[in-house]
Structure 1
């Protein structure tokens, strides 16, 4: 962050009323401007934007109906929100910007746009992005402690809860709800007191999903949570497919039936058997994520992530073993990835490997591991070599629709999937 950057706080959550209360509390700090885009009419090409700030002890509100040529989330960001962030970031009387996100707006997508989308009316020869003027200092996720775990382990879509941005928005509730929390720098719990069992399971999941991330009841207030965010928190930093799969040193033991299953393998998966085995990740599992070595796609890593009863698989880029021995080819490889690859380097296969982490709340670890082990190449198949592996029938390579459903790409912000080479499936 430079001296010219204006601090930006994002407040996200499925329940708009709860996140709105948290966001409104941020107005108590002088110089804060609160922005909210209501996208419930996005399908009609209209977004309602509200700006609020406190003047002389009174909250002043300005509401504008923004008409868009194309009713989509990307247009909302590119044509209105991102230019607005630049405008407010330039103003000396604005000392902080807070964004109260509509449930349909994902914080990671927004942070990608802030850092990467070039503003349309840039000065000649000087491309600008909103990130040149604002700096994400915290993402706050607000969850309903009584319902969140059911939401992230169920099979509902956003449309089932009247939260979809547009009629063709087929994102799952679990995908969005998990993404909000997984990307957060702090978590606030709303709702009334929980029974002991529900509370224990909720905290066991959060301990493992966002280890090291501060959390408290909403009554504590957002300012105290922002102050408690660790210095090394992500603060809008985008994840990649080769980031550590267990950040924050989460507990590895099981608690009230909740536990992390870590799986690794030094030989590739048979594509057909793996496709069948993945059903084990769609029942009794909160989420899973990891890198796969698929025999039929020998030179490229495959990224997998699941949320509740939905799963997606996509291209994560080349293995380091395939890169030419030239400095330019290695320039963009993160040092952390180089070290991890060196520690597991195989004389024949290089850094190719499988590493998967599964957060389970009902699925036994032995069932997950057994299903994955059965999908690996046998000794005979392994001995046949990469040329034969590439001829194996590959459901992931064709990105078929039955029983999988094709998804509409939003962007390639995470580096975890290369759109649109992605498959989604659900129960």
Structure 2
């Protein structure tokens, strides 16, 4: 059957200028293509300004007043309703949604499931500006430092947002400029391939003229977005790759995977946080600690900080009748790797960085695991180990809902 829904290409990117350049390059290839943008400079005061245009004309400019100024309110009360309305008013036109710099595309994907009958989210494209992205990825700035925070309680870091935009993309566009240093270009390409090995990578801007038709052919109606693939926090649980193991790397960029069935000793892991977060540009994945054997814990590190999240219970910690609460993919992944002693409990961490010392990182992580003697002591002794993470993560009995909890740093 023919899918008559308008296709939506979502453009994200921390550089507003680069994202706008890609959006306008797409518009000139199709007079029926509609671009939707939002100005969030007044969102903290509850004001969002919307512009809808084609290559030839501005179709509308509007303002939405929100009861609470926040990105989620904007998605719910303006962005998604606008896409649905345009799909009805212009049924023959595909749509490009260009997100403001501080908006993470995963939030759109999660909210967009509610309007899937009206529009098809075809691809999530992240645009990175070649001359600035590495500085942003290594920055310790918060959004507040750059006056980009979406609400009073928005404590996200610049590196956090930029990395999540890159990781969620099914397509990455590197916007460069003529005369850019070839070695820096290759270094950036190596980094992006290790941060998002699952994405298609497109490079633009090496010449003064942009091949708009060629770019549109790579980005529009690609069908790359699969709504069944979870975001980064849930990828390992459902059996999707979270990175690659590339010890030698190239152009000074390498990556590693660390996997273990043994739980971490909470105190030793906590004591190693400074070393682990300082060494790697990005860390991500899941783990478990001996004091909380029922809880799957998410790990996200960037910009020198660490975010630990609650992903819910391991299936091994639940009665069999509750396994139907998990997705089919999660149950399949658990079944494929089930261990008679640990069940589906396992640590899977990915680290990406510049000249990572893989041996040292592996040794540090391995030293944080329970020893043979500690394992032999049994689970009752594990539960009374000192746990500096207790204030950041719920006890096992409170871990039913898979949500991110607190920011935890050493």
TM range (shorter): 0.7 to 0.9
Match of 1:174 in 2: 159
Give me the whole-angstrom Cα distance separating, in 1, the residues matched to 2:146 and 2:176: 18
**Post-superposition shift, 1:292?**
0.6
Scaled by the length of structure 2, the TM-score of the pair is 0.87
Give me the whole-angstrom Cα distance separating, in 2, the residues matched to 1:340 and 1:112: 22
Contact kept, 8 Å, 1:49 with 1:63, in 2: the verdict is yes
**Post-superposition shift, 1:297?**
0.8
**Post-superposition shift, 1:20?**
0.9
Deviation readout 1:55-86 (Å, 9 max, x if unpaired): xxx22242222222211112211111121122
Contact kept, 8 Å, 1:108 with 1:238, in 2: the verdict is no
Match of 1:423 in 2: 407
Matched, 1:91 2:77: no
Give me the whole-angstrom Cα distance separating, in 2, the residues matched to 1:27 and 1:301: 44
Match of 2:142 in 1: 157
User: How many pairs does the alignment contain?
Assistant: 393
Match of 2:278 in 1: 283
Match of 2:367 in 1: 374
Give me the whole-angstrom Cα distance separating, in 2, the residues matched to 1:202 and 1:86: 37
Contact kept, 8 Å, 1:111 with 1:236, in 2: the verdict is no
Pairing of 1:262-273 with structure 2 (within 5 A): 262-273=257-268
Which of the numbers 170, 174, 186 marks the counterpart of 1:200?
186
Contact kept, 8 Å, 2:124 with 2:225, in 1: the verdict is no
Match of 2:396 in 1: none
Match of 1:35 in 2: 36
Matched, 1:350 2:339: no
Pairing of 1:73-152 with structure 2 (within 5 A): 73-115=71-113, 129-152=114-137
Say what the alpha-carbon RMSD is for the aligned residues. Answer: 2.7
Give me the whole-angstrom Cα distance separating, in 2, the residues matched to 1:174 and 1:416: 29
Contact kept, 8 Å, 2:247 with 2:358, in 1: the verdict is no
Match of 1:409 in 2: none
Q: Cα distance 1:417–1:361, how it changes in 2: closer, same or farther (>3 A)? A: farther
Matched, 1:9 2:16: no
Give me the whole-angstrom Cα distance separating, in 2, the residues matched to 1:318 and 1:135: 32
Give me the whole-angstrom Cα distance separating, in 1, the residues matched to 2:109 and 2:159: 20
Q: Cα distance 1:279–1:349, how it changes in 2: closer, same or farther (>3 A)? A: same
Contact kept, 8 Å, 1:139 with 1:235, in 2: the verdict is no
Contact kept, 8 Å, 2:40 with 2:47, in 1: the verdict is yes
Q: Cα distance 1:248–1:341, how it changes in 2: closer, same or farther (>3 A)? A: same
Per mean C-alpha deviation after superposition, the further-off stretch among 29-38 and 391-400 is 391-400
Deviation readout 1:210-246 (Å, 9 max, x if unpaired): 22513121534441321595x6654695422414463
* Structure 1, unaligned runs of 5 or more: 116-128, 401-414
Give me the whole-angstrom Cα distance separating, in 2, the residues matched to 1:41 and 1:285: 35
Matched residue SS, 1:155: coil
Match of 1:59 in 2: 57
Give me the whole-angstrom Cα distance separating, in 2, the residues matched to 1:95 and 1:391: 61
Give me the whole-angstrom Cα distance separating, in 2, the residues matched to 1:216 and 1:235: 25
Match of 1:407 in 2: none
Give me the whole-angstrom Cα distance separating, in 1, the residues matched to 2:123 and 2:87: 16
Which of the numbers 205, 209, 213 marks the counterpart of 2:200?
213
**Post-superposition shift, 1:261?**
1.2
Give me the whole-angstrom Cα distance separating, in 2, the residues matched to 1:238 and 1:6: 23
Contact kept, 8 Å, 1:292 with 1:302, in 2: the verdict is yes
Contact kept, 8 Å, 2:243 with 2:350, in 1: the verdict is no
**Post-superposition shift, 1:420?**
5.2
Deviation readout 1:141-192 (Å, 9 max, x if unpaired): 1111122122112211122233222343221111111111111122222232
